[in-house]
Amino acid sequence: MRLWPLVVLVMAAPLHPALTRLAVVTGGNKGVGFHTARQLKASGLRVILACRSVELASKAAAELGCEFEILDLGSADSIEAFARQMETKYQQLDVLVNNAAIAFKAADPTPFEQQTIPTLGVNFFATTRLTDRLLPLLRASAAAGRQPKVVNVASLAGKLRQLCPELQAQFADPALDRGRLVSLVQSFVAAVQSGRHREMGFSNSNYGMSKLALIAYTRLLAREEAGNGLVVNACCPGYCRTDMSSNRGGQEPSVGARTVALCAVAPNVTGGFFEHEHLSEW
Catalytic center residues: 207
Are 112 and 192 in contact by the 8 Å Cβ rule? The answer is yes
* 155 and 101 Cβ atoms separated by less than 8 Å: no
Other Cβ atoms closer than 10 A to 209: 28
Please say whether the dihedral angle defined by the alpha carbons of residues 263, 140, 91 and 70, taken in this order, is positive or negative.
negative
CA dihedral 114, 156, 47, 94 (to 10 degrees): -100
CA dihedral 4, 10, 16, 21 (to 10 degrees): 40
Rg of the chain (C-alpha set): 18
Q: Which residues are CB-neighbours of 2 under 8 A, at least 6 positions away?
A: none
Nearest to 271 by CA among 221, 213, 237: 221
Residue type, 1: M
